[in-house]
Structure 1
Amino acid sequence: MKIGFVGFGAQARENLIPACNTIYGVEIAAICDSDPAKCREAAKLFNFDESRVFTHHGEMMDKCRPDAVIVSCYPTEHYKIACDAIERGIPVLLEKPVASSYEDVIRLAEMAKRRGVVTASGMNFRFAEITERIQNIYDDSIQMISLRQMANKPVSALWDYDDLFKSFLHAQTIHGLDLLIHLCGPVKRLSVADNSTDNSIIFSVLLEFANNCHGTLITSNTSPHFTFDLDVLADNRLHIKSTSLNSLSVADLGKTYLQGETKRWCDTWAASPLSSGYARAGYTGEILDFITAIQSGERDSQTAFSTLIETYRCMDAIEKSCKQPATVNI
């Protein structure tokens, strides 16, 4: 499987390319970046000659004809590059945000469906080791889920966006919100409590899912460090807790522990200090699923553009709610 990379920035170098290198049969066939200096870095790192390094993605697609492309460049270019890949029939994985609007995501999904092209997106938390373990623990359904997602950025508008709030939604909130939708399904209703001021983003979202599960997303850009902690109540008996995608605890109602005790005990799991961070964070899983979907010729990937439509719909609803708050007196 020959992969062409568009964008040779930190995300590609530190996460995506190393994750590809852990997958048998994957070859980095070409690198494209609009910055000539990064092209020279790529050529030196991979010992590529000029026939495998490009400054324009279209030229790379036409001359190298990769089996797939992975795009991790300036997000303003994501939509255009995806369109160009789909028109050429080349499977494409886009880092987030895949597009700047809900409408553009729909257009990309419809275009890919018409052309029968496999697509994928950088929703790596769906494939994080913790996520997969949580899904294997409960038998029936989640009743309640709460996610605390904190960060210290962004503190100013990103990319070509004209405001901080949308930048925060598309850079940070998208991961947490998408994971909740991935675990619980479509959202029936949502409401937002917003305490954001100037460059400080602080808000909580209450989500009611179509399956009658409910959840909360508590998020901010004012934390000193990144936090991603989950609480899950499932099967009317399980309390599952996850801390920073690294450890997991499960308390089971009625389970007997030492000396017949049933309270204050739980089962715990922690990632091995020797395990690959690429697998633990889900990068390997998302790329492997993308490649498997291409090779099968029978399905789209689990992170296809179409799977992000609900996430973008909810982000739009959050943005609208915060910019046009409605106060209810009680």
Structure 2
Amino acid sequence: MMGKLKIGIVGCGSIARERHIPEYLAGGEVEIVAVCDLVEERAQEVETKFNISVQTYTDYQEMLKQEPSIEAVSVCTPNYMHAPVSIAALEAGKHVLCEKPMATSSQEAQDMIEAAEKSGTKLMVAHNQRLVPSHVKARELLEEGALGKIYSFRTVFGHGGPEGWSIDGADSWFFRKEEAFIGAMGDLGVHKSDLIQFLFDEPVAEVGAFVETVAKENTTVDDNAVCVLKMESGIVGTLTASWSYKPFEDNATVIYGEKGMLRLEDDPQYSLIAVYTSGETTSYDLGGIQTNAAGGQENSGIVDAFVDTVINEKPVPITGADGKRALDVILAALESSREKTITSVRKAGVTQ
């Protein structure tokens, strides 16, 4: 590849401003040539905020048409636009890094995967929890058999809600079903449905869930959910997603096995603690997980991994298939809660 990788950004809200744009610029191997947002002022603000010169658009189709030099696109829009924007960019021959959840239906996710395959481009989904050092180390320990047979787990992601993070505050699209489709389960739960499948290197097979709206007013999406997951091998555990955890967020995962337990992001000092039935305890200080709190926006690793994948023509580390698997668990949870039944992930289909 000659010169710097040329990037287009679609969506100039908080995730673009706090993660994608700063991380692209910090890497030094890219040039952001164009940005797009339905709110023109937000697109224009990118130039002054980051002291860069870019073309600005309010129509992503126009951006793709007018900026043929763009080689890769970050999709940082509200959820309902993830699939249309990604597919348009893929069909235009651009590599795509799409925020999570990758789509609002299983069919949309499949269409994105097929668009990438047909165009020969790369599609990566921004499930950054796979790259957190404690999670990477935990997977290594599990692969080595450090815990022996795995029995159970609990994984949780909860904070006070997107009003403290989104550029629109309490008026954010996160709270509107027509734009977000999924609430806390799409914002936070999908992180953990991907993580648990990554840690165990196997899919979730069945879900039983209660998905409710109890904490937020003036919203049409869920804000609290508790799910029971059964992995393909029979491991059972819980997944919790919440927009009502105050004043502190909880981003912990605990795994229980015959030889002990792993505590991930469950201790204020050590990001991973392994406690064994032999009496041995090993504490790992691997650096903290990214958070939405002040000072919590360390490099997520997602943008660096995407750039490396494109420039060096490496396999995509977090594929469209991975993103679809995470989404399908969330869709199954919504169906389980709605139908009051245990739901097969494979049979959940497209949720309305």
- Distance (whole Å) between structure 1 residues aligned to residue 52 and residue 45 of structure 2: 10
- Corresponding pairs, count: 313
2:55 corresponds to which of 52, 55, 58: 52
In structure 1, the residue matched to 2:330 is: 315
Share of identical aligned residues, percent?
A: 19
Q: Secondary structure at the match of 1:228?
A: coil
1:90 corresponds to which of 91, 94, 97: 94
In structure 1, the residue matched to 2:108 is: 104
In structure 2, the residue matched to 1:219 is: 241
Shift of 1:213: 2.7
Relative to structure 1, the CA distance from residue 202 to residue 73 in structure 2 (aligned partners, 3 Å threshold; closer, same or farther) is closer
TM-score normalised per structure 1:
0.82
Contact 1:66 1:90 in 2 (8 A): yes
Shift of 1:315: 1.4
In structure 2, the residue matched to 1:207 is: 229
In structure 2, the residue matched to 1:183 is: 199
In structure 2, the residue matched to 1:231 is: 254
- Distance (whole Å) between structure 2 residues aligned to residue 106 and residue 69 of structure 1: 19
Which amino acid in 2 is paired with 1:266?
T
Q: Secondary structure at the match of 1:152?
A: coil
Contact 1:43 1:53 in 2 (8 A): no
- Distance (whole Å) between structure 2 residues aligned to residue 195 and residue 33 of structure 1: 31
Shift of 1:283: 5.2
Relative to structure 1, the CA distance from residue 294 to residue 326 in structure 2 (aligned partners, 3 Å threshold; closer, same or farther) is closer
In structure 1, the residue matched to 2:186 is: 170
Aligned pairs for 1:55-204 within 5 A:
55-64=58-67, 65-138=69-142, 139-140=144-145, 143=150, 144-153=152-161, 158=174, 161=177, 166-184=182-200, 185-193=202-210, 197=214, 199=216, 201-204=223-226
Contact 2:183 2:223 in 1 (8 A): no
Relative to structure 1, the CA distance from residue 109 to residue 189 in structure 2 (aligned partners, 3 Å threshold; closer, same or farther) is same
Unaligned runs of 5+ residues in structure 2 are: 164-169, 217-221, 343-352
Greater C-alpha radius of gyration: 1
2:277 corresponds to which of 241, 250, 253: 253
- Distance (whole Å) between structure 2 residues aligned to residue 29 and residue 164 of structure 1: 28
Give the root-mean-square deviation of aligned CA atoms: 3.2
- Distance (whole Å) between structure 2 residues aligned to residue 33 and residue 277 of structure 1: 25
Contact 1:74 1:159 in 2 (8 A): no
- Distance (whole Å) between structure 2 residues aligned to residue 282 and residue 145 of structure 1: 27
- Distance (whole Å) between structure 1 residues aligned to residue 180 and residue 75 of structure 2: 24
2:265 corresponds to which of 220, 223, 243: 243
TM-score normalised per structure 2:
0.77
Unaligned runs of 5+ residues in structure 1 are: 255-261
Contact 1:124 1:281 in 2 (8 A): no
Which amino acid in 1 is paired with 2:62?
E
In structure 2, the residue matched to 1:258 is: none
- Distance (whole Å) between structure 2 residues aligned to residue 247 and residue 158 of structure 1: 29
Relative to structure 1, the CA distance from residue 165 to residue 147 in structure 2 (aligned partners, 3 Å threshold; closer, same or farther) is farther
Contact 1:286 1:303 in 2 (8 A): no
In structure 2, the residue matched to 1:325 is: 340
- Distance (whole Å) between structure 2 residues aligned to residue 164 and residue 81 of structure 1: 15
- Distance (whole Å) between structure 2 residues aligned to residue 42 and residue 166 of structure 1: 28
In structure 1, the residue matched to 2:320 is: 305
